[in-house]
Amino acid sequence: MSKWVPVLVRLEDYAEFAAMVADRESRRNEPVSEVTTMPSSAATASPDPDEVQLASWTPWPIEDLGKLAAGASETAKRWTRAMDVCCEVAGTHDQWLSTSEVAAKSGMTVNEWRDAPRKITRHLKANYPNVPLDSHGLHIWPLLAKGKPGSQEVHWAMNAEQASSWRKVRGLES
């Protein structure tokens, strides 16, 4: 276990994190043996709150992702294009894409992409009753949006679990 570090989690989140760790470990071929302490440089580093939020963000059910990908509305089409772009960089150092980057890489204008988030809440309420809800009872968007310090744009990302499901839906699995 020389590659392990202790992590503190709230009691109410323990079962979810423990299940995630157990699932990942079951897919590895490495034997678990010894416990090591965290290196001092890592012990003093604070995790990026945006990365923590992205990692714990609740992904959509694969059926709803498929419904979005097959959607005929402009909102669904634009979100599908944006999700394709964000999926390509999910899990990389550059996984947070600005609004203008999403627009450029997806072949949309900035105004077309900006219009899609304005309409997504109503679209989700009307078409996706099974999509997870946040703590305020609102549907979770298929991409996570964050403001970034020093930027005048919203930045977009998807976590690894959502990216994996999206690849399956889009037939991009290897």
pTM of the model: 0.73
Which of 18-22, 56-60, 159-163 is the least confident region?
18-22
Q: pLDDT tens digit string along 104-160? A: 999 999 999 999 999 999 999 999 999 999 889 999 999 999 998 888 999 999 999
Residues 81-93, mean pLDDT to the nearest whole number: 95
* pLDDT at 165 > cutoff 80: yes
For residues 32 and 57, give the distance between their C-alpha atoms in angstroms, rounded to a whole number: 28
- What integer pLDDT is reported at residue 34 of this predicted model? 43
Average pLDDT over the chain, rounded to whole?
Answer: 85
pLDDT at position 13 is 63
CB 170 within 8 A of CB 69: yes
Q: 59: which residues sit within 8 A by CB, 6+ positions away?
A: 132, 159, 161, 162, 165
Would you state the pLDDT for residue 35? 41
Cross-strand partners of 147: 154
